[in-house]
Amino acid sequence: MRDFVFQHPTAITFGRDALARVGEKAAALGKRALLVTGRESSSRHGSRQQALASLRAAGLSVVELQGVPPNPPLSQARSGIRLARQEGIELLVALGGGSVIDCAKAIAAGSLVAHDVWLFFRGKKSIRTALPVVAVPTLAGSGSETSSGMVLTHDERREKIGIGNRLLFPRAALLDPLLTCTASPAATAYGTVDAISHLLEFYLFREESSAPLQDGYSEGLMKTLMAACETALADPDHYRARAELLWASSLALNGLSAAGLGKVALPCHLLEHALSGLHDLPHGAGLAALLPGLLRHQAERDPGRLARFATRVLDLAGAGEKELAWAGIERFAAWLQAIGTPTSLGDLGLTSRDLPGLCAQTREQARLWRLSRYGPEVVLEILAASL
């Protein structure tokens, strides 16, 4: 295990009716709040109204920014920044999926600087301060509620860029599994794939070859996510399954799964940012379409860890290392298909003609993440394996 520093500043409140405490948590951080929500779901299911009531009962003045879409655009963050400045906002409350929370983080960092927020995403400016964020996830998957990352998409250039900074950790996260019961089957499946991908990419693409404790941690979370997803799809109101999905997805990206592994990489997220940036697809759908191809590419080069994944997570046995690796890929692809996700770029309607454009769109993110090994030749190989 490599040396590491782990510090997690988010205060997590988990359980039924945690949303009722949002006013209490927010009041400790400021008096003027910007409530950031998605398009319609939070209003339709009543969580937005509950949040407003709790915030106002705690004495907060609340301004709203509604309508944040999946793959939040830069223009939405800029609008929120202008609103936050105009209204003297002191904290952000994000109620929604990962896109809503990411947009709130961008507003929290961008509203306190004179320059454009996109300069953070270009690596031209560093985040040195940010307004506090209270995160209330309504979908399990992204882990943004307990992570230091955020993602935005440039409206014109279609660059989808993710960055991280310790100041982007939400100050408080209220994890209420009941809020996730209204997620559609597709959203449930896509969120699960996102969480599994966070774990699987660190599990496969890292410096440290021997980390039994970390391997067991990630393997257990991946098995939990797969089983809970199946249960939640069969019974959307199954509280235990929803609770396990929500907590496991938060644990997948809060820093613990990568601790001690040295430098880690997220190559599937690298490719998917290009994919959903250009084609405005659900993030989890793009990951599902790319993962089998990425694993096939990796099996040709290093089947050992894939064989362990097949044995420890997918319960396969026998055969040699290479055979186990390939059998694991096929079983995992079959599972993705069974939960209703795509398993190839072809399933999304893409062809070989789309690959050069996708490849070109990965370059900026690869530069920012210092993924020099994922140059155009390697990226094209992975994309071709994903058709």
366 and 275 together in one domain: yes
Going by pLDDT thresholds of 50, 70 and 90, the confidence category of residue 40 is: confident
Q: Which two tokens stand for residue 296?
A: 């096939």
State how many domains the chain has: 2
130 and 194 together in one domain: no
Type of residue at 344: S
Tell which of 141, 159, 179 closes a domain.
179
Asked if 301 and 42 count as a contact pair (C-beta separation under 8 A), the reply is no
126 and 170 together in one domain: yes
Q: At what angle do helices 185-204 and 303-312 cross, to 10 degrees?
A: 130
DSSP string, 98-162: HHHHHHHHHHHHHTTSSS-THHHHTTSS-------EEEEESSSSS-GGGSSEEEEE-TTT--EEE
Q: Which of 20-29, 317-326, 335-344, 362-371 has the lowest mean pLDDT?
A: 317-326
323 and 213 together in one domain: yes
Separation of alpha carbons 328 and 309, rounded Å? 7
**226 Cβ partners below 8 Å, 6+ apart?**
192, 196, 313, 335
173 and 189 together in one domain: no
85 and 32 together in one domain: yes
**What are φ and ψ of residue 354, in 5° steps?**
-85, -15
> What CATH number did the domain enclosing 256 receive?
1.20.1090.10
Asked if 241 and 182 count as a contact pair (C-beta separation under 8 A), the reply is no
Task: Look up the domain containing 361 and give its range.
Answer: 185-385
Q: Render pLDDT for 259-299 as a digit per residue (tens, 0 to 9).
A: 999 999 999 999 999 999 999 999 999 999 999 999 999 99
198 and 305 together in one domain: yes
Instruction: Give the global pTM.
Output: 0.96
In a domain, 73, yes or no: yes
Separation of alpha carbons 272 and 202, rounded Å? 16
pLDDT recorded at residue 41:
86
204 and 222 together in one domain: yes
Total residue count of the chain as it appears in this document: 387
pLDDT recorded at residue 68:
96
In a domain, 233, yes or no: yes
